[in-house]
Amino acid sequence: MSEQGFAAQLAEDLSQDDLRMVLRVFGDDVRRLTDALDAAARQGDSVAFRRAAHGLAGAAGAVGAVPLEQACRAAMAGERTLETAMVSIAEQGEAVLRELGEFLAGIAVVGSVGSIP
């Protein structure tokens, strides 16, 4: 992945409207699936945890959020305890959500003056 981040890379391939939709749906997926992961970890439910990690890995991979995808894949492989895996996934998920927020705010500002780079 280049230094510009996954959201900026998507901007190269998608229209502004499609980009906003993809990033918003992905942000919703990150929130929903990290909540499911947290609940499964608290309950000690490794099957539900791996299922949610699989879904989040797929969503992250689809948009190029590689560190989040890797954290999820490590969790699916059982390389860590559920609690340790959850910490790693939560950290990466928070980083992704920050990037999304900053990028979407930038689109709103750029879009208000007429174009997206």
Q: Tell me, what amino acid is at 88?
A: S
Q: Are 82 and 41 in contact (CB under 8 A)?
A: yes
Q: Output the six-digit token pair for 65.
A: 């959020």
What span, in angstroms and rounded, lies between the C-alpha atoms of 12 and 58? 21
pLDDT tens sequence across 58-97:
999 999 899 999 999 999 998 889 999 999 999 999 999 9
CATH number for the 17-101 domain, one of 1.10.10, 1.20.120, 3.40.50, 2.130.10?
A: 1.20.120
pLDDT tens sequence across 10-64:
888 888 888 888 888 999 999 999 999 999 999 999 999 999 999 999 999 999 8
Burial 76-114 (b: 16+ CB within 10 A, else e): beeeeebeebbebbeebbeebbebbeebbeebeeeeeee
